[in-house]
Structure 1
Amino acid sequence: MNVLDPLVARYASWLSLPGEATADISDEDPDNVVLMPMVLRIERNDPPERTALLEASAAAALAVCLDERCAEGGEWHEAMRGWISGRIRKVARRARGSHWDAVQELPGVTVEVGAAQVRAFLPMRVADMPKELSRLQISGSELAVDEPGPVKPDAPVLWLPPDVPMSAGKSAAQVGHATMILAALLHGDGMDAELGAWRDAGYPCSVRQADEETWAKRHPGDDPESAWRSHGVAVVRDAGFTEVDPGTVTVLAQWPSS
């Protein structure tokens, strides 16, 4: 059993029905929200490139989910399985210097891509978030758009939409959703060899801003299941809690064999 299995069962219904994307949270107790914190290392005088930071975010979110401690019987399994079975929410914060060093002691996985570093943590209730995380700022994570060059060979491409502005923190969470969905669909289709090879390589991916033609060509319309079966395209549809409208497609993730 894979900790990501609940995603497989819910994937198509998430995208074809409005319920999850327009969920009413008016009665939700903010302290009881369970989410995955992600911390982006952004040093004041030497910030990373935006693309590398997003690629590290995408890999880190999946790496912590599929860490051996999250496997059935592992010490992290119940916390991770419970989060994935509910609303999958993340929050990205920024850290530098001693604050970055401090969060390395908390349960999670750090991924480095080039000069960019991101740590994704075991999901937790907001009320239980330790001060090393809660004191970090959510805002201020914006980075200039860079020129990333060619995509990585034999790795998925995570396409960001051409007309939906998102902060680096919001984008980091969305590409993390995308790699989780890709891994869940691979496992659900019995492609564990491909998933294992991706894991062994460190979950590399390319994050790119799509132009209108690229986005239109890959967008699955109202048939996300066929898009995956036929073209290897998985979709992230946001619930609209922050920055974007409910139901917005924030990432199109293309598996490289398609």
Structure 2
Amino acid sequence: MSSHDTDPSTEPSADPRDEKPQFVLPLVVRIEKDAPPARTDALETAARAVLRLLTDGRAAGEGAWARAVADWEDARIRKVVRRARGAEWRRAGALPGITVTGAGAEVRVFPPVPLDGWPKDLARLQVSGTDLDDPAAPGPVPDGAAVLWLNPGLAMSAGKAMAQAGHGAQLLWWALDETARTAWREAGFPLAVRTAAEADWPALAASGLPVVRDAGFTEIAPGSATVVSAFPGVLDAPGAPVAGNLK
């Protein structure tokens, strides 16, 4: 069984952050047998869930989740996506967290937990089985939305791609100034996840926009560029400042 914990650092064995206690941000996607969400909807909902947690009052200052978030950001940033249905989903919903809904997808994000210290109702959930499809091709990026461009040359399970989309949203959040952050938050974090055209990817990856590089813990090779984050009209020009790699 593979996991979807990811980190865009390129050298997972040669980083001082490895010496610190490791934490993970759990995300749970609801996948009922008779009504699975569309893949793109799940990816976009996961990205918004990460943003919702980062901007929740409990994650800052003296908030109940602030210490866990700070410890998570101080080491390698990992996100793990698991699936739940029925009673599993209801039990997950009883734990402290935030549920975010999309067009049909439901994703619940929880405050970071130690890598080896998951709550039992989350630890028992499956990582595999998150393969999802889009019944129709996603439409154009809506006006006023950020866009997380996926690498067209990488094959990723939906769970892996959800974690990567979450990374891309986090990098974009860090790249924005306070005015842009406020406007995006007040608008409800409009965003789209799309797969870049093969011909466009090299220029996107070299544009200076925030880029996620995976540590290679699961599914893909270390150092792979997985997501480039853009925000038309806000952060979209070549040479735009880069927020820096996720820790």
Conserved 8 A contact 2:27-2:107: yes
Query: Given the alignment, which residue of 82, 88, 102 partners 2:91?
Result: 102
Deviates more, 1:153-162 or 1:104-113: 104-113
1:40-65 deviation digits (Å, cap 9, x = unpaired): 11110011111001000000012112
* 1:47-196 paired onto structure 2 within 5 Å: 47-145=36-134, 146-186=136-176, 191-196=177-182
Question: Please, what TM-score do these two structures have when normalized by structure 2?
Answer: 0.85
The reply to whether residue 251 of structure 1 matches residue 227 of structure 2 is yes
Conserved 8 A contact 2:211-2:229: yes
Letter in 2 for 1:235: V
Query: Given the alignment, which residue of 197, 207, 213 partners 1:237?
Result: 213
Conserved 8 A contact 1:55-1:204: no
Report what 2:244 is aligned to.
none
Report what 2:200 is aligned to.
214
1:18-61 deviation digits (Å, cap 9, x = unpaired): xx312228xx99xx641011101111001111100100000001
Structure 1 residues 33 and 81: CA distance shift in structure 2, 3 A: closer
* Aligned-partner Cα distance in 2 for 1:171–1:64: 19
Q: Measure how far apart 1:107 and its partner are.
A: 2.1
Conserved 8 A contact 1:142-1:169: yes
Question: Please, what TM-score do these two structures have when normalized by structure 1?
Answer: 0.82
* Aligned-partner Cα distance in 1 for 2:82–2:98: 15
* Aligned-partner Cα distance in 1 for 2:71–2:22: 12
Q: Normalized per residue, which structure has more helix?
A: 1
* Aligned-partner Cα distance in 2 for 1:72–1:183: 18
* Aligned-partner Cα distance in 1 for 2:25–2:198: 31
* Aligned-partner Cα distance in 1 for 2:13–2:111: 25
Partner secondary structure for residue 212 of structure 1:
coil
* Aligned-partner Cα distance in 2 for 1:151–1:214: 16
Partner secondary structure for residue 158 of structure 1:
strand
How many corresponding residue pairs? 223
Q: Measure how far apart 1:99 and its partner are.
A: 0.9
Partner secondary structure for residue 101 of structure 1:
helix
